[in-house]
């Protein structure tokens, strides 16, 4: 019997446990100082009424013989897949119901999609970025190369024609940097993927925060993307589903590699390894895409973006370089010191907690992530303290 030794190659994930320990130690030593957490990637606003009402109705249905439901379709109920198609139609993107797969969140599908790809593929991952991209490929033993983000490219790395990759991860708006790719930039990535017969895994978990009309919120708004890209999205930040769990993945029928349609491979994988998202949750998700639901969640997104504006306004006053915030819930600031040293200094002097950039990759060193998902009063107090630092 042998274990998968690739797991032994994983770096221990100490980032958030290390942060938690430092905050506990600080609070014990300074009980008079209230800490303010702006490092959190979780939402703080509750589910909107359209969602909770829909879920309540679904709970009642499950309690009646006539409306009770057992196993659903592994790829999701048709009513929700059609709702997602309608949402994309508003973006100018036409999808077939069978191209949409309902899952329990983008994180799961971003890792599980690797089942349909060979372990011999070379993977390109931006740095800095969401750690799950790296870890899931280390687990599979794939070769990883990095597309380097920097101040010079606005933390939006572009393809290098001298380098070949088979699987490419892109995240826009990016976590942790908040940077958003333009149409022209995404078109260049699509062209690169088509030239190399690569597949782009496009993480659009924060797409609803994009307010600039000239910025794409789906990679399928780029010509040719349906032949080279799989898109992942989540309702966690869109509608506060972090504790409810629902997302969706789009695999176009036009996307084929090695003589096989990836849509069919993913369908086969899901019907074998996944039993679907609960009916109650899917009814709540359907309500998100209703006119009433979209109107209600917009106010929540506006709330978080206003938090981001308060943060960026403060950084501008302090003369600190940053990206993100305008079309994303994260602000990525240059901290002028090793990121863990800055974390300690900020905590000791102000009681404000953020996330050291080094936790998101080598290129995150010297940078710091602030989240706009907190309460407005906390954000304003944190910025007041930073101004006095």
Q: Which of 5-19, 213-227, 361-375 has the lowest mean pLDDT?
A: 5-19
Structure tokens at 389: 């630092």
> Cα angle at 369 between 247 and 11, to 5 degrees?
75
pLDDT classification of 13: cutoffs 50, 70, 90: low
What are the pLDDT digits (tens) for 321-356? 999 999 999 999 999 999 999 999 999 999 999 999
pTM: 0.96
Q: Which of 13-27, 229-243, 364-378 has the lowest mean pLDDT?
A: 13-27
Domains for the chain: give ranges and CATH numbers: 13-42+293-388 (3.90.1150.10), 50-289 (3.40.640.10)
Q: Is the pLDDT reported for residue 18 higher than 90?
A: no
Dihedral angle of Cα 300, 180, 205, 209, to the nearest 10 degrees: 10
Determine the 3-state secondary structure of 330 from DSSP. Answer: strand
pLDDT of residue 14: 67
Tell how far CA 310 is from the center of its chain. Answer: 22
The pLDDT of 146-172, averaged and rounded, is 97
pLDDT of residue 123: 98
Determine the 3-state secondary structure of 331 from DSSP. Answer: strand
> d(Cα 247, Cα 111) in Å, to the nearest integer?
14
> d(Cα 164, Cα 198) in Å, to the nearest integer?
9
The pLDDT of 116-140, averaged and rounded, is 95
> d(Cα 232, Cα 218) in Å, to the nearest integer?
10
> d(Cα 92, Cα 383) in Å, to the nearest integer?
39
Question: Please, what is the average pLDDT of the chain?
Answer: 96
Structure tokens at 322: 């940053």
What are the pLDDT digits (tens) for 291-327? 999 999 999 999 999 999 999 999 999 999 999 999 9
The pLDDT of 231-253, averaged and rounded, is 97
Decide: residue 319, CB within 10 A, 0-12 exposed, 13-18 middle, 19+ buried: exposed
pLDDT classification of 213: cutoffs 50, 70, 90: confident
- The dihedrals phi and psi of 260, each to the nearest 5 degrees, come to -120, 145
Looking only at the bridges linking them, the beta strands covering 260-261 and 229-234 are unpaired
Q: Which long-range contacts (CB under 8 A, 24 or more apart) does 115-121 make?
A: 115/269, 115/273, 116/262, 116/265, 116/266, 116/269, 117/166, 117/167, 117/199, 121/166, 121/167
What are the pLDDT digits (tens) for 67-95? 999 999 889 999 999 999 999 999 999 99
């Amino acid at each position: 019997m042998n274990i998968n030794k690739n797991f032994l190659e994983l770096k221990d994930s100490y980032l958030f446990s290390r942060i938690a320990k430092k905050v506990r130690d600080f609070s014990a030593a300074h009980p008079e100082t209230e800490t303010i957490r702006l490092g959190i990637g979780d939402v703080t606003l509750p589910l909107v009424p359209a969602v909770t009402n829909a879920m309540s109705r679904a709970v009642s249905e499950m309690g009646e013989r006539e409306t009770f439901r057992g196993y659903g379709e592994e790829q999701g109920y048709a009513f929700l897949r059609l709702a997602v198609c309608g949402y994309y139609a508003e973006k100018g993107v036409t999808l077939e119901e069978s191209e949409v797969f309902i899952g329990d969140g983008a994180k799961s599908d971003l890792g599980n999609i690797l089942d349909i790809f060979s372990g011999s593929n070379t993977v390109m991952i931006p740095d800095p970025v969401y750690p799950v991209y790296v870890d899931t490929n280390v687990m599979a033993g794939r070769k990883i190369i990095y597309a380097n983000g920097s101040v010079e490219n606005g933390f939006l790395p572009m393809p290098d024609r001298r380098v070949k990759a088979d699987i490419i991860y892109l995240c826009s708006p990016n976590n942790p940097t908040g940077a958003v790719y333009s149409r022209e930039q995404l078109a260049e990535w699509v062209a690169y993927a088509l030239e190399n017969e690569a597949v782009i895994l496009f993480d659009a978990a924060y797409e609803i925060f994009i307010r600039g009309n000239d910025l794409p919120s789906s990679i399928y708004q780029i010509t040719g993307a349906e032949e080279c890209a799989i898109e992942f999205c989540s309702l966690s930040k869109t509608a506060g589903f972090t504790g409810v769990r629902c997302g969706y993945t789009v695999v176009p029928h036009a996307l084929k590699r090695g003589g096989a349609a990836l849509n069919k491979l993913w369908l086969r994988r899901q019907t074998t390894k996944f039993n679907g998202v609960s009916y109650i949750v899917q009814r709540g998700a359907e309500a998100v895409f209703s006119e009433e639901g979209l109107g209600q969640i917009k106010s929540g997104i506006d709330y978080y973006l206003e938090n981001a504006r308060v943060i960026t306004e403060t950084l501008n006053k302090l003369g600190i370089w940053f990206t993100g915030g305008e079309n994303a819930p994260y602000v990525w600031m240059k901290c002028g010191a090793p990121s863990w040293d800055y974390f300690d200094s900020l905590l000791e002097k102000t009681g404000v907690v953020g996330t050291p950039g080094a936790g998101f990759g080598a290129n995150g060193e010297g940078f710091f992530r602030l989240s706009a998902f907190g309460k407005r009063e906390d954000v304003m107090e944190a910025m007041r303290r930073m101004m006095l630092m």
